[in-house]
Structure 1
């Protein structure tokens, strides 16, 4: 089957006709007006010879004359990879030989350098792709362009966007002209440019039909011919849109804020990890008096804050809580939307039951008790963690016996309440310092007090790994020569000398990057990231810059600043001074506990993951899974079905593909409106001087050095003194800070893991720098100023306008 009319192509023939022909056939089936044409199929491409007779016969049935000859690869117009403009198109082709030559040229364009690079970036294997070719009548276009059924810049599904110019649409899609730009939001379009209001209304109506009929926002090419008839030339999914929030039964619009960026996790959560995290986050927010619906959007966890924003008694307090729970970028969005009439406060009757009152009394008692006796509170916290570490756990021998234990622990406890209130108290005390010391201390000086913080389990972990590196010094050549994966394999097989790594993993092996997801392997399972970090440490030869000394210097500076701020506060007002001194001291005694709650919760996640892997191993042995770890792509009900004999492999394959696709997503919105709008696009843009990126200062100091852009800490190499530039940072990233001279991240909060550790090591840090990993190159000289919250590049024009809180 070498040639098919477009109107005869059925759904499900994509592998035969390619993406473009498949999309055009779908438009025809919807009843849309599409230029007549035919497809030279992938079967002809597979044989390598253009089927001359069949092509010319189909060309003559079109009436000959001018046609468009366009590529239609099987990996084209995909939901996550459009290949827009990558493969060749030839317009106004006329004559038998010319048509045949153009088809051959389309075939040849499948393997150009740019197309191969695009496939590699999209994770598509070269040997899986084949090329079909579409031949269609040319439209003599009076005006043409592109229609997006959702706004590709803001993500809004409530607006359509049209770019148009006189003549054929190639001038618009190739960027050769300054097109007229229209945003259609349902209001009456104005009379301007090359499109009259009636045509804009027609295009918006067509877009609504396409989005409804094809079940996804569309990027469509169109043309009006000289008689004023509208033709659709192509339609494909908009690949750059972040998924929209699920429909809510509550009145809109709604505001959803993402949790991962402040936790140092931008990668998607596995399906098995999602239900666990929903429960944990809801419990955490409840401790702050917030009842929040947690939803899955694009594999990330978002909280619906709309009800709190519309609550007259809680909406102003929300801004303060945002700094603790979500970070400055989300905080800026909330501050902006509090003035939006759509989120105006609503008067409603509030019921205060005895349960709420009792919970409030417990919270007050927990906080006051911690403030009164911080040392005793710390003892209880670390005692509870040690109890969790030593608690014996036994596992049944079969999947049928293991599964009920996993189901019973669908929302694992984060640890005893003896941990909760000391952690919460430390966060609250740190949050009270800026308003209490307003006019007395700068934010930079307060951050200095919070540096070199004791009692932080993540800092203790990093320093413990530094000691392992010192003990490993005699084996330096081996650890630098072999790859982290080779070393990890040797360690697990017992083939490496003992330099303390086994003891380290016994305590901290339950950690990893993105550790809050039960679907992610722990360091104890795969210690390759630990070996990569050890290699970084072994390259550090300056004893003055050793992590333990840097931590000590930060602690000395913090104590000196604490004394200075206490003196200043007492000079203004004695009572205020005494309170300031008390809270500053309590901040240093308690804020380091921030990591303790999360660390305690990892024990339950460790046990849950181990049992899931045991179930997965049995299913693998039964031929129901290809790998034991595939259980992470199932939900608990689906796992129950598999244990009972159902075959989950097709579900796993689909979920794995979606997960890998989301792993490649370069950016994740920190806040979304219910129509899909990226809420940060509503903020006023702050313009830089072309060399300065604007963020939020998170750790005091100023340093210039070469940048090291890192997207994954697992195999990262950071030379001593380099400035680490990363999309995010959670505890699995923090060991890299020990050799870094500074830190720049795209996300985070001043109280989050990365900035906290940066302060405690005394390295300058700027967070919430949007697009930092794209705008900064490895090896580029940059200056990080943690006081002003800026990153300055050494080359003019390398930075541009950025949105920041």
Structure 2
């Protein structure tokens, strides 16, 4: 069928009429006022020729006169890609020949460069995309515009945002002229501009009505099974988390409101889940501290929440961990409102979460909604016991650092070499996985040496205040020994040196192909087998049990090896760079110790002691996380064995799909044969959509507000990007923008520009000349490793991967925390 009236389009016919027409048909079914029209279907597009007779007949039935001709591709108005303005719209078309030409123009716009690039950016395959075209009677608009049921800039739910302009409203959607902007919170709509208070009230009511009605049509699918809820703010009602709506509208000369389009707002970050706790709540993102901004798989999220809660409990802290958009967020509201902890949060954010989180907390401390509400809490017996254990553990490590290191490395050897057996049956495997669902706290052999190293490093700035600059203190933290991640990277460098005879093969073969050969035992042994036995538990985003390890897919290791083989200048060899950084650090530590004794005696003696212990203990900070990877390795292997059994029974499309389920769902499939494939498909779609998200809010309010959008905007500067210096030094080089380390090429001297970095990224540091990231903290994994290689690093540079072009020359200054662009 080539032509359909809009009123004839049934539900679920996106493949025939495209996204825009399907949305208009849904509005008509809901009883909304939509201009009359018809659709030239995708079947006509597939034929390659406009069905003139049918189109002209439909135009005549419409009454002729001016019409709007608009694209309606099958990949359009999607939940995560609006395609706004990517394909053509022709307004005021009059006459049959002009109409035929407009339909052909809409068809052709499917393959313009802008539409093609947009599809590629959103992971939409070109093949199979088809174009339908909508023809509607033109509205003689007095005023028109766009209505959002949530604030698209701040993410705030519970408000409506309206942009309006006199006439057809093209100025609004094209951005061609100034428009009137309204934010409607239901407390009385403001006057002024081209809309009266009565019309603003009507628009708000329309938006709320459509949001609720359209949410009911399509169940939301999130990482948790069942509908995902988000809390309504200010009015005490729950709001279904999506789809919040982007609605085009027009008032005609008679004052009648017409709806021209409704589609999901595609840019919103998911809102926090509902809670019974008094609001508003504030949630701070925890994943970037571990160098992970990508979403966790559903199985990985459940594991991470229990692991993180256990780690915090080891230090006497209770924080609710929630899943928002597949990322780990902690509810810090109670700590903000507690007089005994609120001010300490600023220091905690600065050290452990970075300057972005610090600025957010400083802002919220001045927000009356987070004013102190409770009297300071008394420390209970459990907290006192925790404090006593911490004191004993830390003092022991400070007194005998060499013994603390021996205990740490001994524990790592035990975890790596301890034989592990798996039960024989799937039911027993599942019992074991469930029993280990909440891993215990790290052992004392690991906890207190690691904490001691962090503590002595954190003590340096106050002890050396007025004596040493931040850049000098960062120099002391460079070239740090006893870091398992640095040891891993240098071990890979040794593998590269042994692989020199195979240089041509390793540089000329794609990493994925080399990985397949490695797993099949077809490559010569140049040391990689031993490397993978020791470090194969690692990967990018390695704290997610749902992510493949290097032992399963060593392609990223081969990509890093190729980068190492490109190092031809002996002075740039990673082991020499590390050695130089260590020499500078030792020299600076000695200089600062002497300076402190001269200027701050007797505190200077204490500063000297902490400088020595920093060099002896701070490198252990990576050991705790590395040790936890062995438990994740075993858990992952057992889950995949269960997944393989479910796949063999026809309940999963692949064994790895088990990572998109929760343990109770896995048990239902194992014991009752429940088919989880529809759930897996829905969650995988959400996961893959979130993988494409380039930015993640560092903090959210419970109404979905991105707190950083409330902060004063920095002064614009086209050439200088400002972040936070995390590793001293200054370097100029070619930017290499990398979003995924799996197959990245970083030539010697390139400056790595990335959203974030975790230990799985650090092999790229072997050749990088500098580092720029969008998130992080000074003591996070990436900056720590950068310091230890002597690589200048600037972190927390907003939108760095978007503002810096791949290949552009930039200057990274770790002392000033700036990145200068060569324009």
What range is the shorter-chain TM-score in? over 0.9
Q: Which moved more, 1:57-66 or 1:582-591?
A: 57-66
Partners of 1:222 and 1:234 within 8 A in 2: yes
Cα offsets for 1:638-660 (capped at 9, x unmatched): 21122232222222222222111
Is 1:460 equivalent to 2:460 in the alignment? no
* Residue correspondence of structure 1 range 183-262 to structure 2 within 5 A: 183-215=183-215, 216-262=243-289
1:750 lines up with 2:778 in the alignment = yes
Tell me how far apart the structure 1 counterparts of residues 392 and 162 of structure 2 sit (CA, whole Å): 59
- The worse-fitting range, judged by mean Cα deviation, of 35-44 and 327-336 is 35-44
Partner of residue 221, structure 2 = none
Alignment of 1:660-699 (within 5 A): 660-699=688-727
Match of 1:170 in 2: 170
Q: 2:467 aligns to what?
A: 440
Q: Distance in 2 between matches of 1:339 and 1:434?
A: 26
Distance of 1:61 and 1:247 partners within structure 2: 50
Q: Which moved more, 1:596-605 or 1:207-216?
A: 207-216
Partner deviation per Cα, 1:625-683 (whole Å, 9 max, x = no partner): 22221211111112112223222222222222211111111111111111111111111
Distance 1:211 1:435 in 2: 52
Question: Which of these residues, 716, 725, 729, is aligned with residue 753 of structure 2?
Answer: 725
Structure 1 residue 278 displacement after superposition: 0.3
Q: CA deviation at 1:338?
A: 0.9
Looking at structure 2, the residues matched to 378 and 738 of structure 1 have their Cα atoms a distance apart, in angstroms, of 25
The residue that corresponds to 2:219 in the other structure is: none
Tell me the CA shift for residue 588 of structure 1.
1.6
Change (3 A) 1:573 1:52: closer
The structure 2 residue matched to 1:558, chosen from 585, 602, 607, is: 585
Q: How far 1:22 moved relative to its partner?
A: 1.6
DSSP-derived class of the 1:554 partner: helix
Matched, 1:367 2:394: yes
**Structure 2: distance between partners of 1:160 and 1:284:** 41
Task: State the secondary structure of the residue aligned to 1:595.
Answer: helix
8 Å contact kept, 1:692–1:792 = yes
Question: What SS class does the counterpart of residue 16 from structure 2 fall into?
Answer: helix
Find the aligned partners of 2:415 and 2:91 in 1 and give their Cα distance: 69
CA drift of 1:764 comes to 0.5
Question: For residues 356 and 766 of structure 2, what CA distance do their matches in structure 1 show?
Answer: 26
CA displacement at 1:329 relative to structure 2 = 1.1
Following superposition, the deviation at residue 212 of structure 1 comes to: 2.2
- CA-to-partner distance for each residue in 1:64-92, whole Å, 9 max, x for gaps? 22221212122110110111111222211
Counterparts of 1:470-481 in structure 2 under 5 Å?
Answer: 470-481=497-508
1:325 deviates by 3.4
**Alpha-carbon offset, residue 513 of structure 1:** 0.5
Aligned-partner SS, 2:90: strand
**Residue 489 of structure 1 aligns with which residue?**
516
* Counterpart Cα distance in 1 of 2:470 and 2:715: 23
- Once the two structures are superposed, the pairs formed by residues 507-518 of structure 1 within 5 Å of their partners are 507-518=534-545
Assess if the C-alpha contact under 8 Å between 2:338 and 2:376 holds in 1: no
1:164–1:180: 8 Å Cα contact kept in structure 2?
yes
Cα deviation per residue 1:4-39 (whole Å; 9 max; x = unaligned)? 332343332322322112211222233322212222
> 2:811 aligned with 1:788, yes or no?
no
CA distance in 1, matches of 2:641, 2:147: 51
Q: Which runs of 5+ in 1 are unaligned?
A: 796-805
Inter-partner Cα distance in structure 1 for 2:792 and 2:198 = 57
Q: 2-side partners of 1:537 and 1:349: how far apart?
A: 55
Q: Is the counterpart of residue 387 in structure 1 residue 438 in structure 2?
A: no
1:335 corresponding residue in structure 2? 362
Change (3 A) 1:158 1:223: same
Match of residue 581, structure 1, among 603, 608, 619: 608
Task: Give, in whole Å, the separation in 2 of the partners of 1:480 and 1:58.
Answer: 61
Q: Which residue of 2 aligns with 1:600?
A: 627
Instruction: Indicate the residue corresponding to 1:647 in structure 2.
Output: 675
* Shift in Å, 1:228: 1.9
Matched residue, 1:6 = 6
User: Is 1:524 matched up with 2:528?
Assistant: no
TM-score by length of 1: 0.96
Alignment counterpart, residue 632 of structure 1, candidates 643, 654, 659: 659
1:590 lines up with 2:617 in the alignment: yes
Q: Which residue of 2 aligns with 1:427?
A: 454
Equivalent residue number for residue 109 of structure 1: 109
Q: Indicate how the Cα distance of structure 1 residues 49 and 573 shifts in structure 2: closer, same or farther if over 3 A, else same.
A: closer
Deviation per residue, 1:280-305 (Å, 9 max, x gap): 11122234443111111111111111
**Residues 21 and 134 of structure 2 are in contact (CA less than 8 Å); yes or no, is this contact kept in structure 1?**
yes
Aligned pair in 2 of structure 1 residues 688, 557: CA closer, same or farther (>3 Å)?
farther
Query: Counterparts of 1:414 and 1:495 in 2: how far apart (Å)?
Result: 41
Q: What's the CA shift for 1:49?
A: 4.4
- Counterpart of 2:372 (choices 339, 345, 350) is 345
Quote how far apart the aligned CAs of 1:51 are. 4.1
Gaps of 5+ in 2: 216-242
Following superposition, the deviation at residue 179 of structure 1 comes to 1.8
| Paired position in structure 2 for 1:126 | 126
Quote the residue 1:418 is aligned against: 445
**Number of residue pairs the alignment of both structures matches:** 795
CA distance in 1, matches of 2:808, 2:42: 46
**SS where residue 574 of structure 1 aligns?**
coil
The answer as to 2:806 corresponding to 1:775 is no
Distance 1:412 1:11 in 2: 47
- Cα displacement string for residues 460-515 of structure 1 (whole angstroms, at most 9, x for unaligned residues): 10111111111111221221111111211111111111111111111101001100
Would the aligned equivalents of 1:413 and 1:601 in 2 still touch at CA under 8 Å? no
Could you tell me how far 1:398 is from its partner in structure 2? 3.0
Judge conservation of contact 2:754–2:773 (CA < 8 Å) in 1. yes
The offset of 1:428, in angstroms, is 2.1
Of the structure 1 ranges 516-525 and 541-550, higher mean CA displacement relative to structure 2 is found in 541-550
| Residues 277 and 411, structure 1, Cα contact 8 Å, conserved in 2 | no
Query: Runs of 4+ in structure 1 displaced over 6 angstroms?
Result: none
Residue matched to 2:68: 68
Rounded Cα–Cα distance in structure 2 between residues aligned with 1:551 and 1:688: 37
Cα contact 1:414–1:604 (8 A) shared by 2: no
Between stretches 619-628 and 69-78, larger displacement belongs to 619-628
Compute the RMSD of aligned alpha carbons.
1.8
| Distance (whole Å) between structure 1 residues aligned to residue 698 and residue 257 of structure 2 | 39
Q: Distance in 2 between matches of 1:749 and 1:681?
A: 20
Once the two structures are TM-superposed, the CA of residue 112 in structure 1 deviates from its matched residue by: 2.8
Asked if the contact 1:488–1:528 (Cα under 8 Å) also holds between the matched residues in 2, the reply is yes
Q: What's the counterpart of residue 275 of structure 1?
A: 302
Deviations 1:728-763 (A, max 9, x none): 110011111111111111111100011001111111
CA shift in 2, pair 1:786/1:405, >3 Å: same
The structural deviation recorded for 1:351 is 5.9
1:414 touches 1:597 (CA, 8 Å); kept in 2?
A: no
Q: Is the 8 A contact 1:69 1:133 kept in 2?
A: yes
Give the secondary-structure state (helix, strand or coil) at the position aligned to 1:233: strand
Cα 1:120/1:333, change in 2 over 3 Å: same
d(CA) in 2 for partners of 1:600 and 1:500?
Answer: 23
d(CA) in 1 for partners of 2:54 and 2:808?
A: 56
DSSP-derived class of the 1:128 partner: coil
Closer, same or farther in 2 for the Cα pair 1:327/1:288, shift >3 Å? Answer: farther
Could you tell me how far 1:688 is from its partner in structure 2? 4.4
50-59 vs 459-468, which deviates more? 50-59
TM-score by length of structure 2 reads 0.94
Deviates more, 1:333-342 or 1:123-132: 123-132
- Give SS of 2:668's match: helix
